[in-house]
């Protein structure tokens, strides 16, 4: 794909890490987009912010670990990460433990973010 | 305008898959183009040739197939989502030593790259379900 034809893509993640196959699927779409050298961002909103929890152990439920997948993002240059500030507060997530590059957004900032991307895929 | 569709909804639950199909029909009726229709996650079940719908309900698989054949539109099933759900074309069935191919011939199995490629080539990428 030529760089001239790049389109920016925002992947909106709404699902908690192990409640639905869409949780992992949304991340795989973002990774795939990064692999093809596209301008891709990820926005975690609502229950989706739970995917950012660092200490996840999925071994006893027999599925692959979402936290490990998120930890691998820098290897794919996937570092444009946003999260819904209110959702993080609602779940009481400790900001110190979240990915370093994560940008926290309030409602107005999220509304503006949606305007910045050519395509928005909501999962 | 060039459109691509991403279908996440299962054809067995809710209206998302049929709504996507009707949207696609409306796009063509209004002289716009469909670049590609990409089925992901539960959406891939739209390509299940072994699905049997009750007589008084939509046969969503056949509706999609008829649409694709009539308008020469690409229907792509995400390979990892498809395999997980038992959707195999003859090549995959042989590869994984399964007894039968279960993907309708109007659909093609491919990778997520086809979705990214469609997003680049399209003015609008519309998601159904999720």
Name the burial class of residue B43, with classes exposed (0-12), middle (13-18) and buried (19+) by CB atoms within 10 angstroms of its CB. buried
Cross-chain Cβ contact B119/A14 below 8 Å: no
Cross-chain Cβ contact A119/B125 below 8 Å: yes
User: A interface mutation test: which of B7, B40, B80, B119 has the most A CBs within 10 A?
Assistant: B119
Residue B103 DSSP code: B
CATH for A9-122 is 3.40.1260.10
The alpha-carbon gap from A57 to the nearest alpha carbon of chain B, in Å, equals: 22
Cross-chain Cβ contact A5/B121 below 8 Å: yes
Reply yes or no on whether B78 is catalytic. Answer: yes
Region B12-34 average pLDDT? 97
| A72 vs A78: CA distance, rounded Å | 9
What pLDDT is attached to residue A97? Answer: 84
Contacts of A36 in chain B (CB under 8 A): 113, 116-117
Region B29-57 average pLDDT? 96
Say how many domains are in chain B. 1
What pLDDT is attached to residue A1? Answer: 45
| B103 vs B51: CA distance, rounded Å | 10
Which structural domain range is residue B7 located in? 2-128
Name the burial class of residue B93, with classes exposed (0-12), middle (13-18) and buried (19+) by CB atoms within 10 angstroms of its CB. middle
Region B61-67 average pLDDT? 97
Residue whose token pair is 């400790």: A94
C-alpha pair distances (Å), B44 with each of A13, B37, B121: 20, 11, 22
Which residue in A has a C-alpha nearest to residue B126's C-alpha? A121
B69-120: per-residue pLDDT in tens?
999 999 999 999 999 999 999 999 999 999 999 999 999 999 999 999 999 9
Cross-chain Cβ contact A25/B41 below 8 Å: yes
Which stretches does DSSP call E strand in chain B? 2-7, 33-39, 75-78, 107-110, 124-128
Cross-chain Cβ contact A122/B130 below 8 Å: yes
What pLDDT is attached to residue A4? Answer: 52
A85-119 core/surface letters (b: 16 or more CB in 10 A; e: else): bbbbeeeebeeeebbeebeebeeeebeebeeebbb
Q: What is the CATH number of the domain that holds B118?
A: 3.40.1260.10
Q: What percent of chain B has pLDDT over 90?
A: 98
Which residue in B has a C-alpha nearest to residue A15's C-alpha? B130
Reading chain A (123 residues) residue by residue, the pLDDT tens digits are 444 578 999 999 999 999 999 999 999 999 999 999 999 999 999 999 999 998 899 999 999 999 999 999 999 999 999 999 999 999 998 888 888 889 999 999 999 999 999 999 999
User: At B29, which helix (H) or strand (E)?
Assistant: helix B16-29
Cross-chain Cβ contact B130/A38 below 8 Å: no
Write down the catalytic residue from B21, B78, B109, B115.
B78
What pLDDT is attached to residue B130? Answer: 82
Q: Are A105 and A83 in contact (CB under 8 A)?
A: yes
The answer to whether A101 contacts chain B (CB < 8 Å) is no
> Would you state the structure tokens that stand for residue A67, as one six-digit string?
């936290």
- pLDDT, mean over chain B: 96
Residue whose token pair is 């926290």: A104
How many contacts does A have with B, using Cβ atoms within 8 A? 54
């Amino acid at each position: 794909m030529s760089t001239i034809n790049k389109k920016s893509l925002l992947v909106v993640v709404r699902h908690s890490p192990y409640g639905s196959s869409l949780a992992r699927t949304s991340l795989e779409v973002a990774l795939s987009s990064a692999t093809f050298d596209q301008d891709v961002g990820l926005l975690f909103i609502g229950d989706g912010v739970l995917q950012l929890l660092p200490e996840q152990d999925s071994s006893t439920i027999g599925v692959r670990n979402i936290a490990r997948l998120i930890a691998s993002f820098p290897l794919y240059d996937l570092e444009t990460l946003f999260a819904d500030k209110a959702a993080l507060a609602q779940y009481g997530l400790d900001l110190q433990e979240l990915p370093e590059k994560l940008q926290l957004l309030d409602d107005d900032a999220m509304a503006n973010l949606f305007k910045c991307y050519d395509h928005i895929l909501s999962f | 305008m060039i459109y691509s569709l991403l279908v996440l909804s299962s054809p067995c639950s809710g209206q998302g898959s049929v709504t996507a199909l009707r949207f696609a029909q409306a796009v063509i009726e209004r002289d716009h183009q469909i670049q590609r229709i990409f089925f992901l996650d539960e959406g891939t079940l739209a390509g299940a040739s072994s699905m049997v719908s009750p007589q008084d309900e939509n046969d969503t698989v056949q509706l999609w197939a008829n649409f694709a054949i009539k308008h020469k539109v690409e229907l792509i099933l995400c390979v990892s989502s498809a395999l997980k759900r038992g959707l195999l074309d003859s090549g995959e069935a042989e590869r994984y030593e399964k007894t039968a191919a279960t993907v309708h011939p109007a659909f093609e199995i491919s990778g997520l790259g086809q979705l990214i490629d469609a997003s680049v080539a399209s003015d609008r990428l519309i998601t159904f379900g999720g």
